[in-house]
């Protein structure tokens, strides 16, 4: 039995990164002595509701950073994610220095705790250029430079040690971004996608589209409406169900105005429980996703696992989710319309694509993810990792000051 320190940023947030950390904890807690260090106290009942895990207070030991520090930073009107991350790593470094742990595993991108670790990277935090979805109004280059330097100073963060960690990535696409930055290769371990989808035969499903996930500007839902309006203009009486949570009231208002002329075939199902969401997915034949440069894409993976033929853009991780199937990957609105029209017009093609979807059904299962995490952690040799030499120069030159 190993003594493991797991360092997610948070276990309470209902996001893809938290889902990965929760199921990594589920995989390891029954086999090893696991300690969890998070920014705020982990509410395991909430984690279980969000992700379908079965974690208990008896199976793990929970630690946090200083509660007074958490309260103080909560008053700042911007997230300060980088600073919080490095304060968390500083606390982790203190714990590791006691010699109590055999393995340290980071759950949110690069980690440096002074010893070789396993790190799960959703997208390398030091990489530039960032995907547009990551950029915010407060990312002003001179301030970011000072801010990042201060955070790294607090935790003793060193990129050479980061490059020598054993790195897991959420997609091959993310892995290539990491190698470009740090010069070392990664192992892709696709995130888990919780199951529980009802078994509904494909021919009994509605000939309709569904989109799930956060309702946010980067998800490009207005493009999905435009695509399906053009598909309907070609004679396909399909509909669209939008399932999710509105992250931005302003964007939701904009989307409502765009959808207003099409309410005969568009419906919104907001803030529904997961049981209702999986039921809706299982009643639809088709899924669609439009976000550009998404690092992985839990939402399209849920559609894929739920048995939907899912159309995705040609950037980021989603093409991997659909197995690189060019029949459902599009580079533009016009190409999306053409490919959807082709599938909806040809029952034989539709059947062939659906069979491939069914074959990939377990690619993102919780069982597969837990099996891979256990294998990685139990075979991890910190001394062997310490000897790894990055294969190329890391890119710190003039563009380093643009990292955010």
Residue 388: per-residue pLDDT: 57
158 and 232 share one domain: no
User: Residue 275, class by beta-carbon neighbours within 10 Å (0-12 exposed, 13-18 middle, 19+ buried)?
Assistant: exposed
Residue 156: per-residue pLDDT: 78
Residue 387: per-residue pLDDT: 58
**C-alpha–C-alpha distance, residues 257 and 244, integer Å:** 18
Per residue in 85-143, pLDDT tens? 888 899 999 999 999 999 999 988 899 999 999 999 998 876 455 555 555 544 556 66
138 and 219 share one domain: no
251 and 373 share one domain: no
Per residue in 280-294, pLDDT tens? 999 999 999 999 989
Q: What is the mean pLDDT of residues 365-370?
A: 95
Per residue in 40-58, pLDDT tens? 889 999 999 888 899 998 9
Q: Is there a domain that residue 264 lies in?
A: yes
Q: Is there a domain that residue 197 lies in?
A: no
237 and 313 share one domain: yes
Beta bridge partners of 277: none
Average pLDDT of every residue of the chain: 88
Q: Which residues contact 171 (CB under 8 A, 6 or more apart)?
A: 188, 190, 295, 296, 316, 317, 320
**C-alpha–C-alpha distance, residues 3 and 129, integer Å:** 37
What pLDDT band is residue 278 in, cutting at 50, 70 and 90? Answer: very high
169 and 64 share one domain: yes
Element at 145 (helix H, strand E)? helix 141-155
pLDDT surpassing 80 at residue 274? yes
Residue 397: per-residue pLDDT: 38
Per residue in 297-309, pLDDT tens? 989 999 999 999 9
Residue 231: per-residue pLDDT: 98
153 and 223 share one domain: no
125 and 266 share one domain: no
* Cis preceding-peptide flag for 129 (omega within 30 of 0): yes
34 and 107 share one domain: yes
Output the pTM of the full model: 0.86
Domain, as residue range, for 26: 3-192+367-402
Residue 390: per-residue pLDDT: 57
Q: Which CATH number goes with the domain that contains 33?
A: 3.40.50.2000
30 and 179 share one domain: yes
126 and 213 share one domain: no
Residue 85: per-residue pLDDT: 85
Element at 75 (helix H, strand E)? none
Q: What is the mean pLDDT of residues 231-236?
A: 97
pLDDT surpassing 50 at residue 313? yes
Residue 385: per-residue pLDDT: 67
Per residue in 198-216, pLDDT tens? 999 999 999 999 999 889 8
> What are the two backbone dihedrals, phi and then psi, of residue 318, each rounded to the nearest 5 degrees?
-55, -35
Q: Is there a domain that residue 244 lies in?
A: yes
What pLDDT band is residue 144 in, cutting at 50, 70 and 90? Answer: low
343 and 391 share one domain: no
208 and 298 share one domain: yes
Q: Is there a domain that residue 288 lies in?
A: yes
**C-alpha–C-alpha distance, residues 265 and 358, integer Å:** 27
Q: Which segment of 151-160, 228-237, 318-327, 359-368 scores lowest on mean pLDDT?
A: 151-160
User: Residue 315, class by beta-carbon neighbours within 10 Å (0-12 exposed, 13-18 middle, 19+ buried)?
Assistant: middle
Q: How many domains does the chain have?
A: 2
Share of the chain above pLDDT 90, in %: 65
What pLDDT band is residue 337 in, cutting at 50, 70 and 90? Answer: very high
Q: Is there a domain that residue 10 lies in?
A: yes
Q: Which of 73, 83, 76 is nearest to 152 (CA)?
A: 83
């Amino acid at each position: 039995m190993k003594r493991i320190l797991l360092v997610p940023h948070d276990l309470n947030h209902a996001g893809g990164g938290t889902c990965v950390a929760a199921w990594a904890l589920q995989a390891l807690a029954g086999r090893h002595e696991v300690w969890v260090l998070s920014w705020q106290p982990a509410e395991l009942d909430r984690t279980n509701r969000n992700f379908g895990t079965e974690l208990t207070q008896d199976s793990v030991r929970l630690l946090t950073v200083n509660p007074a520090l958490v309260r103080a930073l909560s008053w700042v009107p911007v997230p300060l994610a980088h600073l919080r991350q490095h304060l968390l790593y500083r606390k982790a470094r203190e714990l590791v220095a006691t010699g109590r742990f055999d393995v340290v595993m980071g759950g949110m991108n690069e980690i440096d705790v002074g010893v070789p670790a396993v790190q799960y990277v959703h997208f390398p935090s030091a990489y530039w250029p960032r995907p547009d979805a990551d950029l915010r109004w407060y990312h002003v280059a001179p301030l970011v430079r000072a801010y990042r330097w201060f955070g790294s100073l607090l935790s003793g963060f060193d990129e050479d040690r980061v490059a020598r960690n054993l790195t897991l990535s959420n997609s091959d696409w993310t892995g290539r971004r990491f190698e470009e930055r740090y010069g070392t290769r990664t192992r892709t371990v696709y995130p888990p996608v919780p199951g529980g989808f009802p078994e509904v035969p494909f021919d009994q499903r509605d000939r309709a589209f569904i989109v799930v996930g956060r309702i946010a500007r980067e998800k490009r839902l207005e493009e999905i409406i435009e695509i399906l309006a053009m598909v309907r203009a070609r004679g396909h009486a399909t509909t669209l169900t939008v399932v999710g949570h509105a992250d931005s009231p302003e964007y939701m208002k904009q989307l409502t105005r765009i959808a207003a002329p099409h309410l005969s075939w568009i419906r919104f199902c907001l803030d529904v429980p997961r049981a209702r969401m999986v039921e809706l997915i299982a009643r639809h034949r088709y899924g669609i996703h439009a976000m550009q440069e998404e690092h992985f894409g839990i939402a399209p993976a849920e559609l894929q696992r739920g048995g939907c033929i899912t159309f995705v853009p040609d950037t980021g991780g989603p093409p991997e989710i659909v197995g690189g199937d060019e029949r459902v990957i599009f580079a533009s609105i016009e190409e999306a319309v053409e490919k959807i029209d082709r599938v909806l017009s040809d029952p034989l093609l539709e059947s062939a694509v659906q069979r491939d979807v069914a074959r990939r059904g377990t690619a993102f299962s919780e069982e597969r993810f837990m099996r891979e995490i256990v294998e990685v952690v139990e075979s991890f040799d910190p001394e062997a990792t310490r000897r790894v030499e990055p294969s190329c120069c890391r890119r710190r030159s003039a563009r380093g000051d643009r990292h955010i």
